[in-house]
Structure 1
Amino acid sequence: MGEIVVTGMGAITSIGLTIAENLRSLQQENSGIKKAKHFKSRYAESLFFGEIDQNDEALLSELGLEQGQGYTRTTLIAIKAFREAIAHAQLSPEEIASGRTAFISSSTVGGMCYTDDLYNDANLRGVPSEYIKSYEGSDHALRIVRLHNMKGITDVINTACSSSANAIALGARLLETGKADRVIAGGSDCLAKFTVNGFNSLRILSEEPCKPFDTNREGLSLGEAAAYIVLERREDVKDLRKIQAIFAGFGICNDAFHPSATSNDARGPRMAMELALKRAALKPSDIGYINAHGTGTPNNDITESYAFSKLFDKVPPFSSTKSYVGHTLAAAGAIEAIYSILTIRNQEIYPSLRVQEPIADFPFKPVLHYTPETEIKHVLSNSFGFGGNCTSLIFSACI
């Protein structure tokens, strides 16, 4: 793949409303997985969530959208992260609106996050809510396009947990093929009854904050977040100080094994990592850190560990930052891409929190404590979604 670089980042999660706040929480090992304050659900008392510490009214006010109609929480957090990313990349309004700027986003719950309103509207109960036209999965992206008068290629991806990782990969392909000069890629998902009830029916939600790669892990903790990165060709970047990292490669595959589980032989995760390494022209030994998919479910953590053991002669340091923010679904790939870039830029590793007894089946364990002053040139970031959708991204230091 040609030299594609990241020139801007924006994120809002349960550990920070900005990139700077996220970084500070990562370094201080502050988890955002707690009892929910804003999300209303019968499970709010019994489960822990990675909830953004800002209600809808505060978001509307901060974004100057108090007079708007139909802005769902998915859309509000998407707009906030999008604005931070374009400001960080120093994109002008003219550049954002240009037909040569592509916008590739992703979401799983989309505008269906207000489940009660959706139910009432679908069943013609009472006066239609203000969200009657907001339930599409692409609503957040379409509203961003209208707010910024964007004219370039726009797309929204839903491949479950690998959605925003695939948005980033598609963005890179648009740059490679000359269909765009810059791409804003990422995703947004907020907590919703629709999502929580669905995951609860699969019996993979933990009743305590998740602990990926722990022997006694019980399942995942759901979170909400939005994150976007700006991709450009290095040759087009006039101010090299804007470059945050190189997007070195990606691998995408589908193991077609099960609707919600990875295969026992980990062929999907392993193939995704192998394809990413091949595209980046790197050897497994070149990887200095892995931001693992690491959901905390019995299935994922054992199969991902098995994939590591088969691909690497010596497994590099790895951890799951989902232990900080929970599983943010479509936003996870972009959030973890940003955390991977922060790892490279600051030469430090953010640990898997709450691991008391690492999985004993393998001779390696995740990083358990914040580790500064490391030497990392290449980071592998994994996102493995339902339906066998496996994606791996590689980010490299800009030398």
Structure 2
Amino acid sequence: MAATSRFDAAVTGVGMVSSAGIGARTAWERIRAGESTAAGLVPALEGTPADFGCAVPAFDPAKAVGRRKVWRLDRSSQFAIAAAAEALADAGLDPSTWDGARVGVVLGNGIGGAATWEKQHNVLRDEGPLKVSPLLIPMLSLNMSAGYVAMECGARGPNFVTATACASGTTAVGMARELLRSGQCDVVVTGGTEACLVPSIVSGFSQMGALSKRRKAPSTASRPFDADRDGFVPAEGAAVLVLERTEHAKARGARIRAFVSGFGASADAHHATAPDPKGTGAELAVRNALSDAGLGPADVDHVNAHGTSTPLNDVAEARMIRRVIGDHPAVTSIKGVVGHALGAAGAIEAVATVLTIEDGHVPPTANLECLDPEVEVDVVAKAGRDLTVEVAVSNSFGFGGQNAVLVFSKA
């Protein structure tokens, strides 16, 4: 990607529904503490080989979306609506007063309404086709999380979902910034959502050997960059950022929390599920993102790594970071705390990166006891680190070899 004139999209609001808590600040405090959220048995997963994960605690869908709506929304859409409402309130935006034609919604989602699909398949099998819900399609379709968020806030601008597997949330934020840069929107509600702690999906990941087998010690199962890591811990949740054209945010006196200054994307063109061990595609995405931001490797203070806790990903990513950026940035993975929320992971990490910049504090990589000797970067472990972060990179990589990288800068 050729260098372009820099475009800073202002982050004016954030919202989060995650296993670390409901509300961005609540979740952030647990992420800062490095306290794992992986619990014992997830009731919905009982009877499966991998029956633990990072579930959202005490989520009240009726409170989040209203009792009259909750029954026709998949859990993934419920999460998105709740996170979007928090982000808009945090941004100080009142949808009843804005020009909805200038507001877009771009959300990432990897799997769609998995719980709805599985439930209705069981109805079909046990009771026959005439008992299948007429709401099946609008509840399971990937695009509906963005559609329902737009309905809630009257956003009539561009509306779509990005589906780049575990890079979906990051891709969404990058595409949202492009809508602002092109002039199509003044505001874009963006992020990602996922609710896939259901037997079929988790069993699929388990059968391919991607999940940790630490059933007897779930709280230590997700351990990015650790020599003893053995797979990721599945999670659910959503995170939303409100992005605005900087002049729009300043004109209304908004607090700007950080800027999205660069975006890069690429494909490994290598394997359906395994990362390219040379990290060629990931490197291309990082270099493109930095070029888009008009920055170089020496400018980067912090990397929020994809860091899945899988044997192949963590080493390949660490080697790529060292080769492309160097060993000077403080690196962390928050998946040791919140697990891997698939299509929502990049969005959750984007919010964490904004808060890292805002607070000047890099959270620790939870459960990192013995750094893999092949990981030759500065991974923050044991305790968080106070650090002035002017520029941060957030990496996301997904099945299909799909890579997405964001560059954030201090406001």
Q: TM over 0.5, yes or no?
A: yes
Q: Distance in 2 between matches of 1:363 and 1:182?
A: 40
Of the candidates 271, 274, 287, which is equivalent to residue 274 of structure 1? 287
TM-aligned CA distance change 1:115 to 1:42, over 3 Å? farther
- Over 3 Å counting, the alpha-carbon distance change for 1:255 and 1:67 in structure 2 is closer
Normalising by structure 2, report the TM-score. Answer: 0.91
Aligned mates of 2:404, 2:279 — CA distance in 1: 13
Q: Which amino acid aligns with 1:183?
A: V
How big is the shift at 1:315?
3.8
Amino acid at match of 2:241: I
Deviates more, 1:28-37 or 1:178-187: 28-37
The yes-or-no answer on 1:381 pairing with 2:382 is no
Alignment of 1:245-324 (within 5 A): 245-324=258-337
For 2:31 and 2:247, the matched residues in 1 are separated by 32
Q: Does 1:17 align with 2:22?
A: yes
1:223 pairs with 211, 219, 235, which one? Answer: 235
Equivalent residue number for residue 78 of structure 1: 80
Match of 1:194 among 195, 200, 203: 200
Q: Which moved more, 1:118-127 or 1:350-359?
A: 118-127
Aligned partner (choices 87, 108, 111) of residue 109 of structure 1: 111
Query: Displacement, 1:37?
Result: 4.3
Distance 1:254 1:327 in 2: 21
Letter paired with 1:49: G
Aligned length: 395
Q: Distance in 2 between matches of 1:269 and 1:99?
A: 35
Listed one character per residue, the Cα deviations across residues 90-148 of structure 1 (whole Å, up to 9, x for unaligned) are: 11123566111000112122123234323135553562236423121122222222233
The equivalences for 1:352-391 within 5 A come to 352-391=365-404
Alignment of 1:169-248 (within 5 A): 169-190=174-195, 191-208=197-214, 209-237=221-249, 238-248=251-261
In 1, Cα distance between equivalents of 2:298 and 2:199: 43
Take 2:192 and 2:376, find their aligned partners in 1: how far apart are those partners?
Answer: 35
1:141 to 142, 146, 152: 146
- Measured at CA, do residues 126 and 184 of structure 1 come closer, stay the same or move farther in structure 2, by a change above 3 Å? same
Q: CA RMSD in A?
A: 1.9
In structure 2, distance between residues paired with 1:96 and 1:193: 42
Query: Which residue is 2:3 aligned to?
Result: none
Deviation at 1:394, TM superposition (A): 0.8
Q: Give the corresponding residue for 1:162.
A: 167
1:255: Cα distance to partner?
Answer: 1.4
Cα contact 2:327–2:376 (8 A) shared by 1: no
Shift in CA distance, 357/350, structure 1 to aligned 2, threshold 3 Å = same
Query: If the length of structure 1 is used for normalisation, what is the TM-score?
Result: 0.94
The one-letter amino acid paired with 1:394 is V
In the aligned structure 2, how far is the partner of 1:388 from the partner of 1:301? 15
Moved more, 237-246 or 104-113: 237-246
CA contact (8 A) 2:111 2:142 kept: yes
Give me the identity figure in percent. Answer: 29
Which moves more between the two structures, 195-204 or 164-173?
Answer: 195-204
Partners of 1:117 and 1:362 in 2: CA distance: 42
Equivalent residues of 2:167, 2:402 under 8 A apart: yes
Runs of 4+ in 1 over 4 A off after TM superposition: none
Task: Give the superposition deviation at 1:150.
Answer: 2.8
* Residue aligning to 1:52: 56
Q: Which structure 1 segments of 5+ residues have no match?
A: none
